[in-house]
Amino acid sequence: MNIALSGYGKMGRLIEKMAVERGHTITTIIDPYSPSTHNKELSKDTLTGADVVIDFSIPSAAVGNIRKIAEAGKNIVVGTTGWYEEMETVQKITESSGIGLIWSGNFSTGVNLFFKIAQYASSLFNLFTEYDPFIHEYHHNQKADSPSGTASMLGTIVLKEMERKKRIITESLKRKIEPEELHITSTRGGSIPGTHILSFDSPVDTIELKHTARGREGFASGAVAAAQWIADKKGLFSIDDMMKDILKGV
């Protein structure tokens, strides 16, 4: 495939390396802040020749980038987080342009298998009201958003499977948490690639599901795999759609 990269931070550089190792061609690298990129602006001209664009930019630029890439008629992998409140807008952009877009807060295969385990566990604990779920995540001190996109996706899974939980709370609480609230908390510090813990606590025990990333390689590898998956598709997809496709029959 011919892949264009939007965003050339640590993830962009790693995706470039992995894509080339898998035999793909990087047609252009676009980043307004990096001195070592080919172009500063997304446009039809700068995206010429690309089959798919992989976007790992910044939250404030995500929807604008999606719009420009869609106008160029290119399918998109969106790994940028922090824009999900504008999902309806992105769906309209995707439908009106006729492109294919796949998004995720985390493209790591391991994390998405972790999501499947969390989904099943949450459905079990839904039947046992003495267990109360909560989520905590750790990331490096350069991460731009909080909570992480992965933690938000994990929270959405819990809400879907556990009827007694109705809404997510992410701020520091100065009050007693309500029974229907799911608390997601975050820590930022050091160089932690990403750790997510889903806990189910009862008066007599605690059960924890934990995913610890050793580096960014899993995220980059999954993003390249997602580019291959979305290349011939039209419409808005999440990583869950891709995993269902891969795991069908399992």
Give Cα 126 to chain centroid, integer Å.
25
CA atoms within 13 A on the CB side of 49: 11
Between CA 104 and CA 143, with CA 185 as vertex, the angle to 5 degrees is: 55
Question: Which 8-state DSSP code applies to residue 176?
Answer: P
Q: Of residues 136, 143, 183, 211, which has the active-site annotation?
A: 143
Q: Closest by alpha carbon to 133, among 145, 146, 119? A: 119
Q: Of residues 139, 165, 183, 196, which has the active-site annotation?
A: 139
At 139, phi and psi to the nearest 5?
Answer: -145, 165
Between CA 12 and CA 20, with CA 14 as vertex, the angle to 5 degrees is: 100
Between CA 165 and CA 107, with CA 138 as vertex, the angle to 5 degrees is: 80
Q: Are 93 and 69 in contact (CB under 8 A)?
A: no
Residue 66 to residue 47: CA distance in whole angstroms: 13
The residue assigned the tokens 């995540």 is 137
143 is catalytic: yes
CA atoms within 13 A on the CB side of 177: 19
Torsion of CA 100, 66, 91, 53, to 10 degrees: 20
Active site residues: 139, 143
